Amino acid sequence: MGMYNLIADNVDKFYTLAENKIGECECFSEFANSMQTHLQLLAGSSDSDCWEEALYELWQEKWAR
């Protein structure tokens, strides 16, 4: 497996964890704080610089339904 594939797989794992965790949180800050322990999964990706914005978009999508 190449480095790109490893990074992409880790990013997918991060967002899968986020999708599973989002329903357990009462507010965005709780959600973001709970995901900070998994930030190492974003290492080497462009998402590592804007992870809070990406999580906020997920939060907005989840609660807009």
Give residue for tokens 């986020």.
18
Q: Are 42 and 48 in contact (CB under 8 A)?
A: yes
Are 48 and 34 within 8 A, CB to CB?
A: no
Residue 65: pLDDT band with limits 50, 70, 90 = confident
Measured CA to CA in angstroms, residue 16 lies from 58, 61 at distances of 11, 15
pLDDT one-digit tens code per residue, 20-54: 999 999 999 999 999 999 999 999 999 999 999 99
What is the predicted pLDDT for the residue at 63?
Answer: 85
- For the chain, the structural domain boundaries read 3-64
pLDDT class of 3 with cuts at 50, 70, 90: confident
* Model confidence pLDDT, tens digit, residues 7-18: 999 999 999 999
CB 64 within 8 A of CB 47: no
Tell which wins on pLDDT, 63 or 21. 21
